[in-house]
Structure 1
Amino acid sequence: MGGYKVTVSRTELKTRIVEKAVEQFTQNGIKSVTMDDIAAMLGISKRTFYEIFADKEALLEECIQREQAESEEFVKSVLGTSQNVLEVLLKCYQRSIEKFHATNKRFFEDLKKYPKAYAQMSRRQDKDVEKTVEFFREGVRQGIFRDDINFYIMNRLVREQLDVLMNTDICEEYSFVEVYESIMFTYLRGISTERGAKVLEEFVREYRKKR
């Protein structure tokens, strides 16, 4: 019984470390935050900390895994409550760009210095592309999207646009939501069928009412 309590305590401690690390890495970048910094913030001894995570890359991999699990749960919840693929795509894209918007740019620059963690992130991004393209194809089956579109190209283009959004000061002049909507709604109108355009306009009206 005593061993069980220790195991639970260590699991909870690991969760606290990962949560704090995600917070600090995304706010300040990876390089500027040390393992000792995180241990001190949590009031954990260095010895205990390093027993759980041997080095920063191991901690970083766990942080990425946690964020990926949260993303998967979000997609599941959206699938369970959305009426069509348009709503799924819009909500997922919005969550993605909000995450990027809240992340210090140095995080992505620093991540490249950790090969295992970077490879883990890259594998997930490749997987996400396949899932997104399948959503588009489902939209074709629903008669919402045109069937003459290369969705790999379109997905790449919208990602590039969102990356530009991340690296400009346009959001200092206009609200983040307004810029995001301008990109996404224009993009989706361009690949929609006549039926899809009507569905999109109806969705946009309801979306703005709720917002």
Structure 2
Amino acid sequence: MKRGATREEIIRATQDMIARNGIRAVRVDEIAQTLGISKRTLYEMFADKNELVGACLDEMSHQQRQRIVSCRKRRAGNPLQRMLRLTNEYVDSLYVVESSFLADIRRKVAFAEHFAEHRRFWLDELTRTLESCRTEQLLLPEIDAATFAARIMNTLLELRLNNAAREELYLFSRTILRGAATRQGIELIDGKH
């Protein structure tokens, strides 16, 4: 048996299992066996499964923020095109894990803070981009950016939980943005400008 594994190796292995199987299906025995360490070694670094899963969620959140920063740097084009790319990035983030993971994290009280923080991050990003669309008069004036962003996120999450194909979520995002756009915004989405 291997002498030990680093905290990062344990988090990475657990993160992979969570992404594949959801939180409930992950077993400490399985993580220890996968890494070739004892459960005792694992418990020396993490008090319990919830602490380990919390560390994994923190790492997943950190990785997502890095992707968003990278996405911001690539956001050329008009605000609606940037919004479409951002919603597609959100869709992609929903497919990094199995839908069972999303259902687990949403329901388990111990992880409610992680779920709320993740949602707040995305809501802020989407709202900020929608506000840019309104400023440039590419979005209908009666659209409230924060409410609209929340509805988009909720609908995309529900579609993902119901095992809709990723392409369906991309299409939904484009269609809903097109429906909220001004005539000029529609032309930009459709590539007529």
Q: Does residue 1:194 correspond to 2:187, yes or no?
A: no
Give, as a single letter, the amino acid of the residue that structure 2 aligns with 1:19: R
Give 1:46 deviation, angstroms.
Answer: 2.2
Counterpart in 1 of 2:53? 60
Contact residue 145 and residue 193 of structure 1 kept, 8 A: yes
Any gaps of 5 or more consecutive residues in structure 1? Answer: 1-9, 206-211
Q: Does residue 1:20 correspond to 2:7, yes or no?
A: no
Could you state the TM-score of these two structures normalised by the residue count of structure 1? 0.77
Alignment of 1:4-15 (within 5 A): 13-15=6-8
The runs of 4+ residues in structure 1 deviating greater than 6 Å are none
Alignment partner of 2:37: what SS? coil
Give, as a single letter, the amino acid of the residue that structure 2 aligns with 1:138: S
Q: Deviations over 1:17-48 (max 9, x none)?
A: 11111111121121221112111101123222
Bigger share in helix = 1
Q: Deviations over 1:183-204 (max 9, x none)?
A: 111111112122222221129x
Give 1:169 deviation, angstroms.
Answer: 5.5
Give 1:124 deviation, angstroms.
Answer: 2.8
Q: How many residues align?
A: 189
User: How much is the aligned-residue C-alpha RMSD, in angstroms?
Assistant: 2.5
Give 1:118 deviation, angstroms.
Answer: 2.0
Give, as a single letter, the amino acid of the residue that structure 2 aligns with 1:34: R
Contact residue 106 and residue 115 of structure 2 kept, 8 A: no
Alignment partner of 2:115: what SS? helix
Q: Which one has more relative contact order, counting CA pairs under 8 Å at least 6 apart?
A: 2
Contact residue 18 and residue 26 of structure 2 kept, 8 A: yes
Larger CA Rg, structure 1 vs 2: 1
Give 1:114 deviation, angstroms.
Answer: 4.7
Q: Does residue 1:75 correspond to 2:76, yes or no?
A: no
Identical residues among aligned pairs (%): 20
Q: Deviations over 1:101-149 (max 9, x none)?
A: 3533332343356534222221331243133212111111233222221
Contact residue 22 and residue 98 of structure 2 kept, 8 A: yes
